[in-house]
Amino acid sequence: MKFTDIMGLLGGLALFLYGMQMMSSGLEAAAGNKMKQILEKLTANRFLGVFVGAVITAIIQSSSATTVMVVGFVNSGMMTLRQAVWIIMGANIGTTITGQLIALDVGAIAPIIAFLGVAVVVFSKNLKLHHIGNIFAGLGILFIGMDMMGAAMKPLQDSQSFIDMLTTFENPILGILAGMIFTAIIQSSSASVGILQALAASGIVQLSSAAYVLFGMNIGTCITALLASIGTNRNARRTTVIHVSFNVIGTVVFTTLCMITPLIRFMEGLTPNNGPAQIANLHTLFNIVTTCLLIPFGNMLAALSERILPEIEEEENESVRLMYLPKLKSIEEDMLGLSAISMDATKNEIQRMMQMAKDNIALSFDAFRNRDTKLLEQVERNEEYIDFLNKEISKYISKVITHERNERGSKILNSYFKITSNVERIGDHAINICGYSKMLKKKDITFSKGAQKEIVHMKEMCEELMEHLLNPENDAVKNYGVIATMEQKIDDLTKKYRENMLQRIQKGTCSDEGSILYSEMLTDFERIGDHALNISKELTEIQIAQQ
């Protein structure tokens, strides 16, 4: 094999993978944050879930990309582990479309497909058509790359040493290992199967040796999802276990069938003298039959993954951690579904953050009213968690917003960025209120019954305010009017309570030091209302953007 042939092989592989990336990007940009609604409607039923997984993968020509998307969805909490099973099964069927298209020699019209796609991208001003053009341009480039790889490998048919090496793959274990390792390296079963078909088209490899390599390729493609699951939560990692389990079970079943039945001769007989079609048909049969065998046991696969990766108490009680957002290093720029994952994961983390702020408000008012400094340690611990979430959520949004492909998605992420800042400020005011309890205890300052009632009322107002923000069932636009009314009431109460405080000073029932701390606490109370209104305003903007 000459140097120019090696360069042609690498160049073809590069075009193949770049074409898949373009299609993934086009689908992501076209679907955007609608991906969540599509999946929520269609994954409730196992058969629809398989269909969705197959269609998405058929469009982007990559089961790895679909599975990585599913890992992200499960990690963000927008999809359950049971729903993920059906999408993964469908993805394994959808990925076989590439091999079938190669077998049909679609590569002959690939330049036309690429030209039409590029023409739409260059000349169309319609953003949606632009994204669709990317999908078709990517498809054309993918098959041009496939043809380049086939042409580069033709000289190998004259290499006896290479042919001898391939015949060793008739040993099932060696063949499966070879397929696994090769696919794990290039991280694309579509590309590795395509290369296998190119070898078959050149007459270098027969189905008898290609079959076991093909089965190994189905296992090797799991490496991409395994890498994507690093740093995710336990359920997301279980998703990759399901993916691996599916392909391992299928490999065991088909390897056994090939060894004890004339399956390979039967597949060769269907399309004699057409190696690429034989490989494509066996690949399709492998995934369809495995899906039909396992679809009744989908929930058992999920249960198996839970047995393999059981809950760990220490993990659940880990002091400070992100529950829904993936680690920044695991974010891929062109990851399918990144927009939908970003929206849902960010929303869920902010919900946790707001709940902590709500809890801290209640603890802080109790500490202030009862001069209980013991609560300060718990409030400070919660505040550290809130600060951590603010920092990590902000970093995550700053990272993913640069990859957001539609204007609506950018607006939503920008609103979430503002929300997390306001929640953090609410936490700061809660810690201020709790901190005053130190001085109250040190100076032995007590409050009158009237002041104590006011403190209880303020606590109730703040809790009600946060409850409105935390309720996902609330219509954000209508809720904004409710919170605006409550915020105005807080302003009015702040003014009224200051007047009451002055009256208590005049009557001598409130000390100077006590009045200073009470005044500071009233300021914090008022600021909590202001930040809650800011959050409600941004939630309204998000709802409008999503419509």
Lowest mean pLDDT among 107-111, 412-416, 534-538: 107-111
CB 465 within 8 A of CB 429: no
Q: What is the pLDDT of residue 30?
A: 67
Q: Encoding tokens for residue 7?
A: 């360069």
Whether 81 shows a pLDDT value over 80: the answer reads yes
pLDDT in tens, 36-60: 566 666 666 788 888 888 888 887 7
What pLDDT does 315 receive?
46
How much is the average pLDDT of 88-99?
A: 87
Closest of 518, 520, 532 to residue 461, by C-alpha:
532
Mean of pLDDT values over 361-370: 89
Handedness of CA 390, 393, 396, 401 (dihedral sign): negative
Confidence at residue 316, expressed as pLDDT on a 0 to 100 scale: 45
Residue 98 has pLDDT above 90, yes or no: no
CA distance 291 to 279: 18
**Residue of 273 and 248 predicted with greater confidence:** 248
Band (pLDDT 50/70/90 cuts) for residue 285 is very high
> What digits encode the pLDDT tens for the residues 256-281?
999 999 999 999 999 888 888 999 99
Euclidean distance between CA atoms 466 and 524, whole angstroms: 15
The Cα–Cα gap between 92 and 110 comes to 24
Identify the pLDDT of residue 170.
80
Q: What is the residue whose two structure tokens read 């917003």?
A: 401
Name the residue with higher pLDDT: 372 or 365: 365
CA distances from 342 to 22, 62, 81, 201 (A): 20, 21, 18, 43
Distance CA 521, CA 435 (A): 10
Q: How confident is the model at residue 496 (pLDDT cuts 50, 70, 90)?
A: very high
Residue 336 has pLDDT above 80, yes or no: no
| Runs of H (alpha helix) within 406-511 | 407-442, 449-470, 476-507
pLDDT digits (tens, 9 = 90+) for 291-321: 999 999 888 998 999 898 887 654 444 467 7
User: Mean pLDDT, to the nearest integer, of 99-126?
Assistant: 83
Range from 43-47, 76-80, 192-196, 273-277 that averages highest in pLDDT: 273-277
Q: Report the 10 Å Cβ neighbour count for 337.
A: 29
| pLDDT of 522 strictly over 90 | yes
pLDDT the model gives residue 504: 85
More confident residue, 363 or 231: 363
Element (H, E) at 9: helix 3-31
**Domains delineated in the chain:** 3-309 (no CATH), 337-546 (1.20.58.220)
Q: What is the rounded distance in angstroms from the CA atom of residue 393 to the CA atom of residue 50? A: 33
Does the pLDDT of residue 352 top 50, yes or no?
yes
pLDDT digits (tens, 9 = 90+) for 385-411: 999 999 999 988 888 887 766 677 788
Instruction: Quote the CA–CA distance of 155 and 420 in Å, as a whole number.
Output: 60
pLDDT of residue 314: 45
Phi, psi for 319 (deg, rounded to 5): -60, -55
Q: What is the mean pLDDT of the chain?
A: 83
Q: Which amino acid is at 293?
A: L
List CB contacts of 467: < 8 A, sequence separation 6 or more: 358
Kindly indicate the confidence band of residue 79, based on its pLDDT and cuts at 50, 70 and 90: confident
